[in-house]
C-alpha cells in the first residue's frame, strides 16, 4: 500500500466535506445538489465533468452507471438521448442524492438503486454501455474504511476493478461495451497491462493529467468483452 497516496486521497476526501450540505452547483446544463458523504470534486467537479463529457454518444442506448455519486454522469446521459439509465452505487447517500437530482431536473428515464457493483442488478438486464469511474487507489483487502465517502476512491485488493472486468460481459448486449475511467496516477500502463493480460480488446478514448505532480491522471477506455462472456 502506498501510504503517501492513501494520505493524499483521504485528505482530499476530507476537504470535500468541509462545507454546509447540501451544496449546489450548475454543471453541464444540470441543476445539481450534493449531499453529505457524496464526493464532489473541487473546481465544480472537474474530473467528473471531464469523464461525463468524454463518454461516447448514448442516444437511444440503455446505460448502466456503476458508482453514480450525486448522479451527474447518469443524469447527463439520460437528459441527452439515452433511452434509459440505471444508476447504482454502494453508498446509500449517493442513491438518495441521484434521485433528488433527477427530481430537480425533471428527468424521468433514470432509475437508481443501491448495489455493490452487480449484486442488486437484475441478471436478465442488458445494457449497451456500462460506465464505471472506478476507485483507483489500491489498498489491502482488510483495509478499514473510515467513512462512506472513502468507498468512492479505495479499491481493496483491486477486487472492484477485477470484478468489473470479469462480470460486465454478462450484462452487456451483443454489441455492448464497457466504459472505464481510471486514475492511472504516475503509472501510465496501470490499466493496459491488465487488459492485455486478460486479452480484452480496448481503445483509449481520452486522457488528461489534472495535477502537475501526476497524482490525478485520468484515462478513459472503451473495452469489449471476450466472446462468450
What pLDDT, in 10s, does the model give residues 152-186?
Answer: 999 999 999 999 999 999 999 999 999 999 999 98
* Contact predicate 16/41, CB 8 Å: yes
The reply to whether 219 falls in a domain is yes
The reply to whether 129 falls in a domain is yes
229 pLDDT exceeds 60?
A: no
The reply to whether 229 falls in a domain is no
Each residue's pLDDT tens digit, 52-101: 999 999 999 999 999 999 999 999 999 999 999 999 999 999 999 999 99
As for how many domains the chain has, the answer is 1
Neighbours of 164 (CB within 10 A): 20
Tell me the CATH number at 17: 3.40.50.150
Q: Is the peptide bond before 22 cis (omega within 30 degrees of 0)?
A: yes
Question: Of 150, 187, 170, 188, nearest to 225 (Cα)?
Answer: 170
Helices 42-54 and 72-79, packing angle to 10 deg = 50
C-alpha cell at 229: 462472456
Averaged confidence pLDDT in the chain = 95
The reply to whether 26 falls in a domain is yes
Confidence class for position 1, pLDDT limits 50, 70, 90: low
The reply to whether 196 falls in a domain is yes
- What 3-state class would DSSP assign to 46? helix
Q: Compute φ and ψ for 64, nearest 5 degrees.
A: -115, 125
The reply to whether 192 falls in a domain is yes
CA distances to 114, 117, 137, 191 from 6, rounded to whole Å, are 26, 22, 7, 19
Each residue's pLDDT tens digit, 20-47: 999 999 999 999 999 999 999 878 899 9
Q: Give pLDDT, residue 59.
A: 97
The pTM of the full predicted model, rounded to 2 decimals, is 0.96
The reply to whether 228 falls in a domain is no
Domain extent for 168: 3-223
Across 33-37, 88-92, 110-114, 225-229, least confident range: 225-229
The reply to whether 182 falls in a domain is yes
Question: Of 27, 52, 187, nearest to 132 (Cα)?
Answer: 52
Amino acid at each position: 500500500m502506498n501510504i503517501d497516496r492513501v494520505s493524499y486521497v483521504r485528505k482530499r476526501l476530507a476537504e470535500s466535506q468541509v462545507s454546509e450540505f447540501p451544496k449546489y452547483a450548475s454543471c453541464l446544463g444540470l441543476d445539481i445538489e450534493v449531499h453529505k458523504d457524496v464526493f464532489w470534486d473541487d473546481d465544480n467537479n472537474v474530473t467528473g465533468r471531464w469523464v461525463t463529457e468524454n463518454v461516447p454518444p448514448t442516444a437511444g442506448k440503455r446505460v448502466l452507471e456503476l458508482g453514480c455519486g450525486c448522479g451527474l454522469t447518469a443524469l447527463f446521459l439520460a437528459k441527452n438521448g439515452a433511452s434509459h439509465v440505471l444508476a447504482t452505487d454502494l453508498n446509500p447517500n449517493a442513491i438518495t442524492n441521484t434521485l433528488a437530482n433527477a427530481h430537480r431536473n425533471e428527468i424521468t428515464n433514470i432509475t437508481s438503486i443501491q448495489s455493490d457493483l452487480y449484486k442488486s442488478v437484475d441478471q436478465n438486464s442488458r445494457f449497451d454501455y456500462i460506465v464505471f469511474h472506478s476507485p483507483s487507489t489500491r489498498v489491502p483487502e482488510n483495509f478499514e474504511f473510515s467513512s462512506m465517502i472513502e468507498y468512492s476512491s479505495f479499491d481493496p485488493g483491486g477486487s472492484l476493478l477485477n470484478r468489473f472486468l470479469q462480470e460486465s460481459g454478462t450484462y452487456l448486449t451483443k454489441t455492448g461495451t464497457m466504459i472505464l475511467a481510471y486514475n492511472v496516477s504516475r503509472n501510465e500502463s496501470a490499466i493496459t497491462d491488465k487488459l492485455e493480460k486478460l486479452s480484452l480488446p480496448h481503445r483509449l478514448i481520452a486522457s488528461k493529467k489534472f495535477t502537475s505532480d501526476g497524482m490525478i491522471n485520468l484515462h478513459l477506455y472503451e473495452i469489449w468483452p471476450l466472446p462468450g462472456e
